[in-house]
Amino acid sequence: MSLSESRLDLGTTFLSASRLILGTGGANSLAALERAIVASETELVTVALRRVDAAGPGLLPMLDRLGVRVLPNTAGCYTAGDAVKTARLARDAFETDLIKLEVIGDERTLLPDGVELLRAAETLVADGFTVLPYTSDDPILARRLADVGCAAVMPAGSPIGSGLGISNPHHIRLIRQSVDVPVVLDAGIGTASDAALAMELGCDAVLVASAVTRADDPTAMAVAMKHAVVAGRLAFSAGRIPRRFHALASTSDAGRAQW
């Protein structure tokens, strides 16, 4: 596999080279965020929608200057109704039909509310959105989301910001097998090896926010994530060796000296 075969279609948008999507939440400053975005070589970054007085200026001009595309989210929404309204506002604000659909079920875990999520996804797909839902690692729910027309599914490896990595790798593989749309591992990544694992499990892309923005050195972690996603993807397509219970010598016994 060459990296030139990297294009990934996500409904009406695509990733041309990098399979790393960066979340912009959690950064200490716009300058730190900018350095991380540049270092990650991402093409697509998430943004939230907040009141102008709370949001602070400068984010969108900076993203425009860097030439990265914007994936608005519905962060903080707890009902389908709220999420649909937020998505429509985001479409008007950012002139994109892309939406990272989040409908949270619980403040402590920030895990998705599957019932509300599916409801919102159906409405937004019918309304012409390219819906990228943040979902749980439930293969059945992922399939239902794909069935209603979501352009991808984005299962959580573990709760948002937890850094616990991929707690159920088997389910991520099941999701990969049960949908025909791209699978983006979203949430829970703690470090580069988690991102590599996601790609080795067959995910098409990885979305990382806190693991980069809250790292001691966000720029260095952004570089690590970039390499991890490439390495994981190459390893997946290269085909790993089967796991064995016992050793299998790589060096032939033939021609060994006899004493």
Largest CA distance in the chain: 83
Residues 13-32 that bind other proteins (CB under 8 A): 23-27
Question: Do the beta carbons of residue 238 and residue 212 sit within 8 Å?
Answer: no
98 belongs to the binding site for other proteins (CB under 8 A): no
Q: Using CA atoms, how far apart are residues 120 and 114, in angstroms rounded to an integer?
A: 10
**Contact present, 221 and 195 (Cβ < 8 Å):** no
Q: Considering just the CA atoms, what is the radius of gyration of the chain in Å? A: 20
* Residues classed as catalytic: 100
> How many of the chain's residues bind other proteins (CB under 8 A)?
39
Q: Residue 94's CB: how many other CB atoms inside 10 A?
A: 18
Stretch that binds other proteins, among 58-66, 125-133, 141-149, 221-229 (CB under 8 A): 58-66
On whether 163 is known to bind a ligand per the annotation, the reply is no
* Structure token pair of residue 54: 């709370």
In the complex, least distance from residue 81 CB atom to other proteins, rounded to whole angstroms: 10
How many CA atoms does the CB half-sphere of 157 hold within 13 Å? Answer: 30
Which residue in the set 56, 239, 242, 255 belongs to the binding site for other proteins (CB under 8 A)? Answer: 56
Q: Taking CB under 8 A as the criterion, which residues in 188-247 touch other proteins? A: 207, 209-210
Three-state DSSP state, 248:
coil
In the bound complex, what is the minimum distance in angstroms from residue 235's beta carbon to other proteins? 26
Between 75 and 196, whose beta carbon lies closer to other proteins? 75
Q: Residues annotated in the binding site, as ranges?
A: 161, 187-188, 209-210
Contact set with other proteins (CB under 8 A): 23-27, 33, 46-57, 59-60, 63-64, 70, 72-73, 75, 85, 88-90, 92-94, 160-161, 187, 207, 209-210
